[in-house]
Structure 1
Amino acid sequence: MSYVSSLLESTSGSSSSATTSTSSTSSLGQDAFLQLLVTQLQYQDPLSPMDDKEFVAELAQFSSLEQLTEINTGIDNLASIGETQQLMGAVNFIGKKIEATGTAVGLEDGTATPVTFTLPDDAETCLVNVMDSSGTVVRTVDLGATGAGSVEFTWDGKDYDGNVMDDGQYQVAVTATDADGNILTVSSTMSGTVVGVTQENGAYYLNIGNDRYVAFTDITNVINESSSSGTDS
């Protein structure tokens, strides 16, 4: 095997780093490959020249290297386009009221944001536990017998002793049982108007106020859209 082929294999073995290189670095790799190939032809033994099949194989390997470089560039461009489209999609939600899967409750000045939970069947017992950021239950509200369907719950912002809790984010967990004592599977949603967008680990999240963030995949409904502002004639 020629030393050009060996160099190509070495380059292919470090393809992971090559995918993150700039376009100028990729072009340099192609140029270096061609230069080595020309140098090999220039200094080959005239009495024992490179076999034509081997030469064609070298050219094919160069072509493969060039194609891989173009593919990597294309993938990078697609990723950039996809990220831009995701950002534009997130920005389009600003000002709209949405409903999303979640159990977060934002508390500010003693006023808590509501959470809607859905019971699949009539519940004989229904307890709503409110937990702080450490997971400690600060209040349990007994709703008693509750009919099947959507139930909106709004915490009064107080603990067991009637003290108003500090502002911040809390979570609710609903425990419900039917007449036979079977535990019911309860789903919860929260709603709010999108006031901003944030990015974390390459993904965008919608800020629906009171330090509550939701992912696109958690959105269940767009309740209403903000009306377009009129323009004076």
Structure 2
Amino acid sequence: MSNDISTSSSYLDSLRWQESQVATSDNESDALTQEDFFSLLTQQLSYQDPSNPADNDQMIAQMTSFTMAQGISDLNSNFDTLATSMTSNSALQASTLVGKQALLESNTVDLNESGDAKGSIVAESAVESLTLSVTDASGQLVRTIDMGSQPAGAVRFAWDGNNESGERLPEGEYTLSAQGSTNGQFSSLPIATFKNIESVNINGSSGIIVNTKEGAVRLTDIAEIA
């Protein structure tokens, strides 16, 4: 006869200590809610010293602090929602820029089959004897436009695409240069021309990026869109 005692019976298994399984949720938050705050306040009141009860001002200050903290948390959530909405609106607005023209600092202009080539000459101060020169891809001077005396600021110009003889020049890219006299000294002046907007990007740190033939530029750096 064997003296071994079996410990595998279901009865003995029921007597063994069963580890309790506590369900946890991945969505649990460490942040105190308004319910938690009032539970703590109730405990504080129940354990207070009857001979030295809690000051009403202190209780009101605690409630005010919690209310302010809850308000700030709600405000942050609203700002996040607002930021998401603004990003979506920016993307929608940016999509409408494709196909339009942006005024960028450039000394080249694209002459189309019809229409004028437009831009601006940037004069930091009043200028006299202002002239705009146009050269073709081979470097040959094809047109000179006399613009006379101009005040300081952006001096708009429009080239009709014709040469000195009034003949329409072929489509393509032409180079511009501007010279003027300021205080008796002639100097070159910067030029800005309109470039076609080919696409746009939404960049979190830089905002809306506009892509043209000249390259990428921030929307805030564009002087004019036509």
Q: How does 1:54-133 map to 2 (within 5 A)?
A: 54-94=58-98, 96-103=99-106, 116-118=119-121, 121=127, 123=129
Residue 157 of structure 2, aligned match among 147, 150, 161: 150
8 A contact 1:119–1:184 mirrored in 2: no
List gaps (5 residues or longer) in structure 1. Answer: 1-23, 107-113, 129-139, 156-171, 223-233
Q: Aligned pair in 2 of structure 1 residues 86, 119: CA closer, same or farther (>3 Å)?
A: closer
Q: Quick one: distance in 1 between partners of 2:202 and 2:79?
A: 24
8 A contact 2:210–2:217 mirrored in 1: yes
Query: Helix, strand or coil for the counterpart of 1:61?
Result: helix
Name the count of aligned residue pairs: 163
Query: Helix, strand or coil for the counterpart of 1:69?
Result: helix
Q: Quick one: distance in 1 between partners of 2:140 and 2:32?
A: 67
Instruction: Measure how far apart 1:213 and its partner are.
Output: 3.3
Instruction: Measure how far apart 1:90 and its partner are.
Output: 0.5
Instruction: Measure how far apart 1:127 and its partner are.
Output: 8.7
Q: Quick one: distance in 1 between partners of 2:205 and 2:102?
A: 23
Q: Quick one: distance in 1 between partners of 2:53 and 2:140?
A: 89
One-letter amino acid of the counterpart of residue 154, structure 1: Y
Q: Does 1:50 align with 2:54?
A: yes
Q: Quick one: distance in 2 between partners of 1:34 and 1:142?
A: 84
Q: Quick one: distance in 1 between partners of 2:39 and 2:178?
A: 72
8 A contact 2:209–2:216 mirrored in 1: no
8 A contact 1:124–1:144 mirrored in 2: no
One-letter amino acid of the counterpart of residue 89, structure 1: Q
Instruction: Measure how far apart 1:93 and its partner are.
Output: 1.9
8 A contact 1:100–1:218 mirrored in 2: yes
Q: Aligned pair in 2 of structure 1 residues 29, 184: CA closer, same or farther (>3 Å)?
A: farther
The list of structure 1 runs, each at least 4 consecutive aligned residues, that deviate by more than 6 angstroms after superposition, is 125-128, 140-145
What is the percent sequence identity of the aligned residues?
A: 14
Root-mean-square deviation (Å): 4.2
Q: Which one has the bigger helix percentage?
A: 1
Q: Aligned pair in 2 of structure 1 residues 214, 62: CA closer, same or farther (>3 Å)?
A: closer
Match in the other structure for 2:14: none
Query: Helix, strand or coil for the counterpart of 2:97?
Result: coil
Q: Aligned pair in 2 of structure 1 residues 90, 198: CA closer, same or farther (>3 Å)?
A: same
One-letter amino acid of the counterpart of residue 68, structure 1: I
List gaps (5 residues or longer) in structure 2. Answer: 1-27, 110-116, 148-155, 160-172
Query: Helix, strand or coil for the counterpart of 2:193?
Result: strand
- Tell me which structure has the larger Cα radius of gyration: 2
Q: Quick one: distance in 2 between partners of 1:210 and 1:185?
A: 19
Q: Does 1:192 align with 2:212?
A: no
Q: Aligned pair in 2 of structure 1 residues 44, 93: CA closer, same or farther (>3 Å)?
A: same
Match in the other structure for 1:205: 209
Q: Quick one: distance in 2 between partners of 1:185 and 1:64?
A: 58
Q: Quick one: distance in 1 between partners of 2:192 and 2:41?
A: 65
Q: Aligned pair in 2 of structure 1 residues 208, 99: CA closer, same or farther (>3 Å)?
A: same
Normalising by structure 1, report the TM-score: 0.52
Query: Helix, strand or coil for the counterpart of 2:185?
Result: coil
